[in-house]
Structure 1
Amino acid sequence: MVRKASVMKVYKDQYEEYERRHNELWPEMEKMLKDHGVSEYSIFLLEETGQLFAYLHVEDEALYARVSETEICKKWWAYMEPLMETNDDHSPVAKELKEVFYLG
């Protein structure tokens, strides 16, 4: 199992909408993530700054890397684009974090 973490940013006036949309995650998005080896996925919000911390477990990094190629992922990115900092392709601006400590 591979642990992955990244940071992103949601606009301060969009916190509630961001959370609502994730609480109503599309079933096809959930299925696609699980089909690409995601077994756990959490997102935390630092309210003072809008910074999001995403943490997930994946079976295989190569399999997970193909998530961004799926149509449902691209549709989700377009749906979330008004709420957060994004790249030209609507993907979230995300910085991958390096793990420096783990207590298992």
Structure 2
Amino acid sequence: MHRISVKMKLIKGKEAEYKRRHDEIWPELKLLLKEHGIKDYSIFLDAESSSLFAVMKVENPALLEELPKHPLMRKWWTYMKDLMLTNADDSPVADPLAEVFYLE
């Protein structure tokens, strides 16, 4: 199992809406993520900096490369783009984080 983490940026003042949308995440999106091998997925917020830190376990990282092409993933990104910094294709700006410590 591989662990992947990224840092994203939330727009100040959008914290409650971001949480609400994730509390109501679409069941079909949850299924899509699981079908692509994502397990144990968490997103943390640093309220002071509005930084989001996502951590997930992935069976096969190569499967993640297919997600940006999926219409449902693209629909979610469009739905979320008013809350966070995004790229031209509406995907979130996500900077990979290097693991420096892990206690199992």
TM bin (shorter chain): over 0.9
Q: Which has the higher helix share?
A: 1
Q: Which runs of 5+ in 2 are unaligned?
A: none
Q: Quote the Cα distance in structure 1 between the aligned partners of 2:49 and 2:101.
A: 24
Q: What is the alpha-carbon distance in structure 1 between the residues aligned to residue 69 and residue 8 of structure 2? A: 20
Question: Counterparts of 2:42 and 2:97 in 1: how far apart (Å)?
Answer: 15
Root-mean-square deviation (CA), in Å? 0.7
Q: Which amino acid aligns with 1:82?
A: D
Aligned-pair distance for 1:5? Answer: 0.2
Q: Distance in 1 between matches of 2:93 and 2:64?
A: 17
Moved over 2 A (4+): none
- Aligned residue in 2 for 1:86: 86
Q: For 1:54, what is the secondary structure of its paired residue?
A: strand
Task: Give the counterpart letter for 1:16 in structure 2.
Answer: A
Find the aligned partners of 2:14 and 2:61 in 1 and give their Cα distance. 30
Partner of 1:10: 10
Deviations 1:70-102 (A, max 9, x none): 111000000000000000000001101111221
Q: Select between 64-73 and 85-94 the one with higher mean Cα deviation.
A: 64-73
Q: TM-score, normalised by structure 2?
A: 0.97
Instruction: State the percentage of identical aligned residues.
Output: 49
TM-score normalised by L of structure 1: 0.97
Q: 1:35-62 CA deviation, whole Å, 9 max, x = no partner?
A: 0001110000000110000000010000
